[in-house]
Amino acid sequence: MKSPSGIDDIAITDSEDIAVSRSQELCDLIIHFTPQQKTDDFYKWLKEFSQYNIEYPRNKEIHDVLAKSLKEAIRLFGERKTFADMLYVLDELYSLYAKSFESEYMSEILAEAYAVAIFYLRGSWDIEGTSTLLKRLRDLLKNHPKNNKIAVQYAKSYSDAINRFCSDRHNFTCDKLLFELRMFANKTKDNESIQYEFAQALTSVIGTFAREERFEELERVLNELRQIASRFPKSEKIQLLLTRGTILSSLADNSAE
């Protein structure tokens, strides 16, 4: 049977099946991309992969597998500390998301990718770059306000940034990030996952405040940590953070003696 273009429908189906199969292979190649392999190999695979997505724009399987591959590539380049490549791939993933921004799956993939990029970018002490990615993640959450997975990635990204930028007297950045995360956490007090990330952030700054003898701020965040722990008494992870925060706070007492 001929299609309107004169090409056999069976041939079209076979070609698309081959493209799907090859996309899975390319995904495996990218996911198992080793530190010894050349970056050129990745871009060769990405070019082929992207072509399949262009040829079959309505094939959800190719689209989703490509998104998954790009997310994993962000992690790979982050581990290599090749941040230009990491941010380029992140832009490619955003372009893919922009074509299907109503997709919850794509939104969650992009949120996780932002969180991964922020985690690795903090190693470069790039405050401006980190702030830009946090803003993008905030905008993504505004577009999907009821998506808990995106909300948790948002809180996690702030926690990771605070852990990095509050460790060595980056006080203005530290205060700004902590204030923004506190505002978000105060709106989601019943969400254990988000409260855990907030507790992580509070624990990170407790050690810094103790070393710097910032007693009023130290007592405030320690009280916040206690309040979170009181709301989630069965959460072992949060209870452990309270124990750790209490021990870290004792550094201030010792230094005052």
Tell me: the pLDDT tens digits for 164-188? 887 665 567 888 899 999 999 999 9
- pLDDT more than 90, % of the chain: 67
Amino acid symbol at 48: E
Distances (CA, A) of 102 to 112, 131, 201: 16, 25, 31
Q: Which alpha helices (H) appear in 37-82, and where do they start and end? A: 39-55, 60-80
Question: Any bridge partners for residue 2, and if so which?
Answer: 8
Indicate the average pLDDT of the chain. Answer: 88
Q: Where along the chain do its domains lie?
A: 1-100, 113-257
**E strand intervals along the chain:** none
Q: What angle do CA 187, 223, 138 make, to 5 degrees?
A: 30
Helix, strand or coil, per DSSP, at residue 8? strand
**Taking Cα atoms as reference points, which of 124, 154, 157 lies closest to residue 142?**
154
- pLDDT more than 70, % of the chain: 89
CATH entry, 113-257, from 2.30.110, 1.25.40, 1.10.150, 1.10.10? 1.25.40
pLDDT given at position 251: 77
Confidence check: pLDDT of 216 > 80: yes
Tell me: the pLDDT tens digits for 8-67? 444 446 899 999 999 999 999 998 887 778 899 999 999 999 999 999 988 989 999 999
Over residues 176-201, the mean pLDDT reads: 96
Backbone angles phi, psi at 82, to 5 degrees: -95, 80
pLDDT given at position 10: 42
Tell me: the pLDDT tens digits for 217-229? 899 999 999 999 9
Confidence check: pLDDT of 123 > 80: no
